[in-house]
Amino acid sequence: MTAPPPTRLEVVHDTRYDYPAPVTLAHHLAHLQPLDDAYQRLCAFELDIEPLPMPPPRASRDALGNVQHHFSLAQAHERLHVRARSEVELRARFTQLDAAASPPWEEVAAMLRYVARGPYRPAAEFVQPSPFVPLLPSLRAWAAPSLTPGRPVAEVALELMQRVHDDFAYESASTEIDTPLAQVFEQKRGVCQDFAHLMAGALRAWGLPARYVSGYLLTRAPGEAHDMVGADASHAWVQVWCPGTPGVPGDGADGGWLGLDPTNRLLPGAGHVRVAIGRDFGDVTPLRGVIRGGGASHRLAVAVHTRVLDAATDGAGDPARPLLA
């Protein structure tokens, strides 16, 4: 069977800060450049910042391979505008998934337990609690019915994705960035960031590694009949480690990691743009920093626009800044 052609997308992410008093010094860190691999090719990336930082933004990779941009502003300013424009080509990743053929969840958990002088497995980092994803006894108890003895780990993950979608209501502005996970669990509502944290917490509570993924979502992904929840904004989902599972790529940094979007109850496909992976939101915040001045409060406005490009509008001839290899 011939593989479908890749989907080419443009993503524009605008962030504006308005300060009530001048900021005299600022240092910022941005996770805005999408990842590049066999299933997601980064074709172009531009980062525009006003006021213009001097020296220009510096790109590097963090410990997990995410591209990050550092920039500083030493001139007084009352507004910061950061605009990231990306073009990516996406291919579906999990179309051949055979969840029933994945290893039992207990076997995967046992692989990651500490054993003196045992082999180090990088996935073990994502079993541990993190600042936004503490280990909650209530969340472990909630997940328990899905973890029957000997059940394939991918089937466990798929059921937990379904249960997060069914048991928690998506409600814009129902939480803040720093709303504790225990509060989200109790109120049974939240946004995509919360659902990703809930699912990661449920998996980690049983010794299974889960990674947080930040990115973007096409309003209606190829092959989908309905608009996606959480589209036209930054989006978040999770990956669970399912080594040796048919249909889950087994090579490279993403080897064995199965993506799951609990907000939309589906496997990420040709409409999900991956920007960065981490333990939780705190590792991959799109834009953060420290400032001197600016007054007691500020106004933040964020807008994301995602669209499909075709041959007539793909912008392939537009100038683009060099990509970090």
Mean pLDDT, each 10-residue run in order, the chain (325 residues): 80 96 96 94 97 94 95 96 96 92 97 86 94 97 98 98 96 90 96 97 98 89 53 84 93 83 92 95 96 91 89 39 36
- The whole model's pTM is what? 0.90
Cα 112-117-118 angle, rounded to 5 deg: 30
pLDDT recorded at residue 314? 43
pLDDT recorded at residue 324? 41
The span from the CA of 192 to the CA of 239, in Å, is 14
Residues of the chain with CATH 2.60.40.2250: 7-90+285-308
Closest by CA position to 261, among listed 188, 176, 177, 165? 165
**Cβ neighbour number for residue 133 with a 10 Å cutoff:** 27
Pairing of strands 7-30, 77-90: antiparallel
pLDDT recorded at residue 233? 64
Residue 163 Rama label (left phi>0; alpha psi -120 to 50; beta): alpha
- φ, ψ for residue 185 (rounded to 5)? -65, -40
Peptide bond into 34 cis (omega under 30): no
pLDDT recorded at residue 228? 53
The span from the CA of 276 to the CA of 323, in Å, is 15
Q: 3-class SS at 86? A: strand
CATH number assigned to the domain with residue range 99-282, chosen from the 4 options 3.40.50.300, 3.30.930.10, 3.10.620.30, 3.40.50.2020:
3.10.620.30
Residues of the chain with CATH 3.10.620.30: 99-282
CATH fold for the domain made of 7-90+285-308 = Immunoglobulin-like (2.60.40)
Model confidence over 105-144: pLDDT tens digits? 999 999 998 888 888 889 999 999 999 999 999 999 999 9
